[in-house]
Structure 1
Amino acid sequence: MVHTLEKSAEPNYNLLILKEVTFFINEMERTIDIYRNDLTPVYLRTFNDALEETHYLIDSLKNQTPSQESLELYDSLSYNIKEWAKIQTKMANVNSDLLGSTLEELTQKIQNLSNNPSQPNAQITPDADTLSAEEKKNGFFKRLFGRKNKVNEEALVPDSVDQGPTQSELLQREILAELEAAKTQSLKKNSELRFEIHQLEQEAAVYQEQIVALIEQLETIEIENSNENVRSVEALAKSTNQEIVVFSALSSALLLITIISQLNYIARNRKYQRALSNAKVHAEELASTKEKFLANMSHEIRTPMNAIAGFTNQLLKTDMTAKQRDQLEVVKNSSDHLIHLLNDILDLSKLQANKVKLEEEIFDIKSVLFESMRIFEDKAEAKGIALKTEFETVPRYVTGDPHRLRQMMTNLISNAIKYTDHGSVTLHAKVERKDNNQMTMRIAVKDTGNGIPKAKQKRIFEEFEQAHTADQQQGTGLGLAITNMLVRLHKGSILIDSEENKGTEMTLLIPYKLGRKNQKPEKEPKAPKIELSNLHILIADDEPFNLKLLEAVFSSHDVSLVLAHDGSQAYEQLANQHFDLAILDVKMPGLSGFEIVEKIRNEKGPNQSAPFIALTATISDQEKLQSKNSGFNSIMRKPFDEQELLATIKDVTQKKPDTSSKPKEPNASQLGLAAGEVLFDLSTLKSIGDKDFVDEMIHTFKQSANTSLKNLRKAVKLQIRNGISDEAHKMLPPARHLSAKTLVTAIEKLQNMANTASFEQISNQIDRVESIYTLIKKDLDA
């Protein structure tokens, strides 16, 4: 309603424009009337300008009028004004022709009579031929009528002798005769032209009447539109009043209902809050139970895995047959894969949050696929299933994550064997697409097993979802869910083609970078062999085979070991004798590793400053923080890597050189400055003000430079190029005030580099700016 009222309150601009059209039509009529009496071109130009403005206003009205009737009226008005203007122009031209032609013809005839008298032999008197300057000045007609007066005067004087008409009298008679004839002709022509003007005036009057009628009709339409708008506003106001009354009544009823509902809601809310509070307590208990279960399960699984992986590595160091070594390699690969798989299963939320990072390394893809099949040879043989591999144009080396590929293939092959009772499982691989060094591998695992119902083919990729209810006894239902997550992480896709009782084919489309021809995986540089000597080490673990594994690891080193089977024994040993190192399991009966270290660090015993290494089945952020707070020097997860453990022991038992000394201050030669180069000049500042002014400017320079350098470092860290350019720009004026030309040049270069150079180059230039500033500041401080 407010919008409608505001719109109705606006003036009717169409009526105002129609008034302007009427004004310009009147202006055209006025100027053409003046032009008829005074043939000055300016009036005709004014007439044409008014005509053009009239047509412009009518066109603007047509653009704002949606009504077809109004458009037709505006077209008629435009046409009538145009025709009326043509008639007015013709009338002005007729008047001009009437006056101009009559005078020109009369003047020409009189001049002919003057130059060619009717009696060529007659004597021309001096009075007739010789004119004074005054007479010439008066003009032809004055001279003519002046002579006529003279003749009349002479006629009044009696002439004693009749000498006949003179030459002047003859000329006068001929002129009068020509004047009479010209008068007659002019009257005739004037009558014709005036008749034409009369007809044009009648036509103009008709058009003028039509113009007035059209304008009145259009004004009537606009007035009616305004009245209709007013009537609609009145109706709206009336209906709005009714709606307000209804709304007020409904609002009152609604308010009453709301109060009643709120009272009921408050009562129910209290009931729900009590239920929610109980549910929260229950959920917290479940979460705590789940956390404890995962921690305990992780510890229980990793503990035997630590022994398997550790003793496998120890066995690989011994002499054995090729077949034994080959079998042991399979065990090692399987244990390594199990560790990777265990990490992902226990940290499923990490996969769900896409926090798993893919490695980028060159690996033999055929070897990984073969190894994935070899793991299941015994299981397939026990079921009487044939394992087949089919490779088509598969490159040997690619760049990607071999562990994740092995994990995905293990899940698919394991499922295929699990649900196949007879027939075969085939691993097929080929290059699907190739573009320069990028390619997409198509890896399919096809079995002749039970197949998957169509209704469940989409659901099997969900967590804890399995194709058949009976399958719950055969696994957790996480394999395909994890595989699907890993495929998405590779930005690939997984396809399924299955039919019940005929088999299933799972296909992975995974992009990899193609290795260069004959390119082999880069071998990690062989770490130097670490030899430990003259160390007295305490090892504490409640699992006997973990102690045996550590004994095997240290058997080739010159160390003495003391073993403790629980936390109490470990604390007793540490409280009574000095050790160069203590390796403690964090979860032990009696005292945990965290409690032992915290007590030893707080007591003035022989091992208060000794290094401690924690061994744990899981390393969570909480355990990392707890190990640091309790006093551990390092924390390692089981199963551990032997070389990593030895390197950590070497690191914590040897004193590092003191590297905390401050770096040397930059000097001029290091910055490429000439010897004795003046880095700044205060003479300009001294010429401007006194010592206090100079000191204030130096203080401003230091403060501004320090702030800008900090901001520059932040801008580089956040990679904000505009910030780098702005801060460099801020540093320039104070540097110029000190006439620090070298610093100004370095800052200008930094400003130019802000939008184009790499951030490493920009950081190097900031280092140079800061070094030059440091030298200047040192001299200023001195």
Structure 2
Amino acid sequence: MIEPELLKILFNNLPIGLSFFDANKRCICANQCTIKMLYKNYNDNEIYEIYDNLYNDYLSIIHNEDKEEEVKNFLKIQSDGKEVTSNIRLYIHDKAEYRWFSSKKTVFKNHMYLLMLEDIHDNRTMEIQLRQETIKAEEACDHKSIFLANMSHEIRTPLNGIIGMLTLLEDTELNDNQNDYLSMIKECSFNLMTIINDILDFSKLEAGRITLDIKPMSIQECVESTNDIIITKICEKSLEYLYNIDPLINYIKGDTHRIKQVLLNLLTNGIKFTDSGTVILNINYISENEYNKLFELYGTINKYKIKKDMMFLRFDIEDTGCGIDDIDKEKLFKSFSQIDNKITYKIYQGTGLGLAISKELIELMNGCIWLDWSEIGKGSRFSFILKVESYNEVNEILENNNDSILKDKNVLIVDDNLYNRISLTGMIKKWGMRPYAFSNSEEALYFTKIMQFDIGLIDYCMPKIDGPTFASKLREQKEYNNKKMPLVALSSLGEKISKTSKHFKSYLIKPFKESHLKKTCIQLLETNSFNVIKNETQTKIIENNSYQNIDNYIRQNNLDKLKDDIRILLAEDVYINQRVITSFLNKMGFNNIQIVENGQQCFDLIKEQDFDIILLDIRMPIMNGEKALKLIKNYYNIETSKKIPYIIAITAYCLSDDKEKYISLGFDDYIPKPVSYMDLNKCIDNFIKILLRD
């Protein structure tokens, strides 16, 4: 047992203040540390007098801002007997300053209280300094983001004019040299736009301003939408593009925009660094165990809680490009880093932000990304994994709604490429059909003699026996089994294909959409007609991305007069933008257009005249677009007899996810700058569909 004298020595030499009080708040005893905190000079003869006044003396050195709370804490511990800890400032005479202390009050039996005081000033000061530094850093980050957004606006404004006028110039008669110059200027303009977008995205990620928009989405539709963007570049470089999505993957809960952004980044890189050969996208369902192993190797902190219906997805993007050497591998995923290969540098310049942004976005979605392999002269494969929720409500509906005409039909697949066969097999199985895939025509022809098929999907260009030759040999067979089997030709973009071939009832251009293949199969099984069924979307791509959907829709419905009757008000302060947008509208056939230069003029004019569409720039002098929108909405709420126009926001101010922001403000649609003919056409198309529906 420890002797009382030794306990007293320990008590008085502790580095924290200890004092005991009775129920009347009179101090029973206090150690030396407490006495020194409260009193500058004292002697042992005064100790009992000190004890009588210690509670009040303690309150007297508490900072005025903390005193009331500390008194309440003492009352609280007396009433409920629970321990209370707080951080307070005490005036220390020796230091002649207020210092931060941890004040802990504990109840003992017989209504005794223990007060413990520990000096935490240095740690607390450091905390406050860190907090202040963090606030300063966040403010600096905010200022940088705002500065970049403002700079983006200033750069996009002239760029809008450049790209817009180049689009209009394309429709004029130019010689070959002029077309080359035009093509190069346009490519440089779009490259500049990509750089601006990369810098803005990186800035938002750095500031923690990007939030995910998690909602039900289709992986298939997300990939097909990405394919629509990259297909022209693939065609220009005569590359083969293959993609395969595991049939187990359908609808999930995720951020379509961000997943698409990552896929676009990685696929664009694959295309950029590949001069010949293939770019492949594979998306597979993996087990939770495999996911965890990969995350241990390549991931950071896994913050996503495992839920009941989780899916674990692996994405692989592979190319046969130039490859990456060991030195450059270390720089991947770092901001503003590029490969140093002297041969490729001049050709493949960029911001060096693409992979860094992809990494940040994937980690934001609780996944991880890595370079799976790369070899100089042979190519590379980038991989990433995501953990997502399965959206079973839609998946169950899809499973129960397979078209009966497709169920149990035998499908012949002939394609020399393994990935194409896997992809087609996966799609076909989803619809309840039975796929039989062959890598060469000879083997497939043999099986057509002994087995009945309902439809054939035939690659147009294959070694030895190509698609047309296969079809011809099939029709010449003595066996009757498959002579009348409808055949679909599958060709890559850029391949010359006879669209009137007597052997093929339909053709699809790779990469085609799953929905187009399904629609084609249904049409072929429902009809005995040998007319060629054209794939409208792919034909549109072949015809140089011609967007004439509004014109066709109106002509088909005998509504040519509609364009003349539609009144459009454009509120835009920059002359070149006025010229570009009105020229686009004129090109679409809309000529009833009025122009104002600010929101105030726009508001004044809508009170005098009726308009069907208002194109409202967000950033204008005198009155901006957002304020003008509020006034316009309020005006039409009062003037209920008037029909409110379709109001479209136009902005180059790209700090956040703009479309959702402006739709929530009350705009009907949104166009980012630089305004493209396609985006404007799409918005007007949306309005016309609403108009015709009403």
Q: If you compute each CA radius of gyration, which structure gives the higher value, 1 or 2?
A: 1
Q: TM-score, normalised by structure 1?
A: 0.33
Greater relative contact order structure (CA < 8 Å, 6+ sep): 2
Higher helix share: 1
Higher strand share: 2
Q: TM-score, normalised by structure 2?
A: 0.37
